[in-house]
Amino acid sequence: MADIKISNLHKEFGVGDDKVVALENVNLEISGHVFVSIVGPSGCGKSTLLNILSGIETPTSGSLTITQAGAQAAPGYVFQAARLLPWRTVMDNLLFVQADKSSETRARCQKYLDMVQLGDKGDKFPGELSGGMQQRVGIARAFSIEPDVMFMDEPFSHLDAITARSLRRELHSMWAATKKTIVFVTHDVGEAVELSNRILVFAQGGILKDDINVELDFPRDPSDEAVAVAKANVLKKFEELDLLAT
């Protein structure tokens, strides 16, 4: 688990007339075993914020700290695509990001393959797996380094609805079992409600408009009435903030 503190975080791209504000003075704290989703219209700075948190981008101004027990927290990252090395086996893809290749490390990698239901696929190559299976490997790889905080950028957006639903269930089981802090970007409000106990709503210009607690028991079935009502309430908030496409 990690503690994230963001103070007056501002990000601009370009200069002069071409300048674009991606994030506008964001102030935010995230702490403990939480699953936080970031939602908002396209171009509102969701992925930019995630990239700054993970160190891929640097802010224009402001500050952030990500710590675990007072020390710098170790991050993990899951991309929209699995980004597996096609010439390496599934197990070798997991071992590629490890500090060593010891039997203990291999056993840890196997544990996370088991958790995503791919325990028997370690000797397969990515090309022999479906898209959903490849994304499972990507998730297992990120968890296998045992980070304090996990950043996930729309990891299910390119998958079909049935596969994405199955992976959401597996991800949530892993979150519950590993006690990680997860920050998850999605364009799907239903997905955010199903997975999260906290939803951050961003508007164009990278403005944090709302911070919503989702107080429903887990696991959540998207067909449950309470989940549907919570989704409707978040969409109503989008409407109130004039964030829905017209």
pLDDT in tens, 90-118: 999 999 999 899 999 999 999 999 999 99
Residue 8 — pLDDT band, cuts 50, 70, 90? very high
pLDDT mean over 63-72? 92
DSSP 122: T
Pick the closest to residue 140 from 119, 169, 162 (CA basis). 119
Residue range 15-26: average pLDDT? 87
Q: How far apart are CA 221 and CA 172, in angstroms?
A: 12
| Amino acid sitting at position 160 | D
> Tokens 């503190």 appear where?
5
Contacts with 104 (C-beta within 8 Å, 6 or more apart), sequence order: none
Q: Are 149 and 75 in contact (CB under 8 A)?
A: yes
- The whole-angstrom separation of Cα 20 and Cα 44 is 11
- Mapped onto helix, strand or coil, the DSSP state of residue 138 is helix
Which helix (H) or strand (E) element contains residue 226?
helix 225-240
Kindly state the average pLDDT of the residues 50-58: 92
Q: Is the pLDDT of residue 243 over 70?
A: no
Q: Please, which pLDDT band fits residue 244 given cuts at 50, 70 and 90?
A: low
149-153 sheet: strands from edge to edge = 75-78, 149-153, 181-185, 35-39, 198-203, 207-213
Q: 149-153 and 61-68: which strand pairing?
A: unpaired
Q: Percent of the chain, pLDDT > 70?
A: 98
The CA distance from 23 to 59, in Å, is 9
The closest of 210, 218, 220 to 37, measured between CA atoms, is 210
pLDDT for res 108: 95
- Contacts for 93 with CB less than 8 Å, ≥ 6 apart: 84, 85, 126, 137, 141
Q: How confident is the model at residue 223 (pLDDT cuts 50, 70, 90)?
A: confident
Average pLDDT in the chain? 91
Average of per-residue pLDDT across 128-148: 93
Token duo for residue 170: 């597996």
pLDDT category at 246 given cuts 50, 70, 90 is very low
| pLDDT value of position 245 | 52
Total residue count of the chain as it appears in this document = 246
pLDDT > 90: percent of the chain: 67
The residue to which tokens 């994405």 are assigned: 164
Beta pairing class for 181-185 and 149-153? parallel
What residues are paired with 149 via a beta bridge? Answer: 75, 181
Identity of the residue numbered 9: L
Q: What is the pTM for the complete model shown?
A: 0.90
